[in-house]
Amino acid sequence: MWYKYKIEIFYSEEDEGFIAVVPELPLCYAFGETPEEALKEVKTAIELWIEAAKKEGRPIPEPKKIVVER
């Protein structure tokens, strides 16, 4: 299952790779040597984050709606 959370990907010189972060899910992030790999890994991290939250009875934030003006 895929959730529509905002994902930010940036290069980390310190880690020498890309970090993908999900701002709406605290401590939900992943690493990859390429942006594509970081994106793939963070999708798995989102699933695991939500699974853990359900097991622990924690609230799961709704993805924020993005408004695009034309």
| pLDDT tens, residue by residue, 3-57 | 689 999 999 999 999 999 999 999 999 999 999 999 999 999 999 999 999 999 9
- At residue 39, the pLDDT reads 97
Task: Give 65's pLDDT tier (boundaries 50, 70, 90).
Answer: confident
Does a structural domain hold residue 28? yes
- Coil, strand, or helix at residue 30? strand
Expressed as residue numbers, the domain containing 27 is 8-56
Tokens of 53: 């939250």
Number of domains in the chain: 1
Q: Would 67 be classed as within a structural domain? A: no
Alpha-carbon distance of 70 to 59, in angstroms, equals: 34
Grade residue 68 by pLDDT with cuts at 50, 70 and 90: low
Gap between the terminal Cα atoms of the chain: 30
Q: Does residue 22 belong to any structural domain of this protein?
A: yes
- Of the candidates 57, 67, 59, the one whose C-alpha atom is nearest the C-alpha of residue 26 is 59
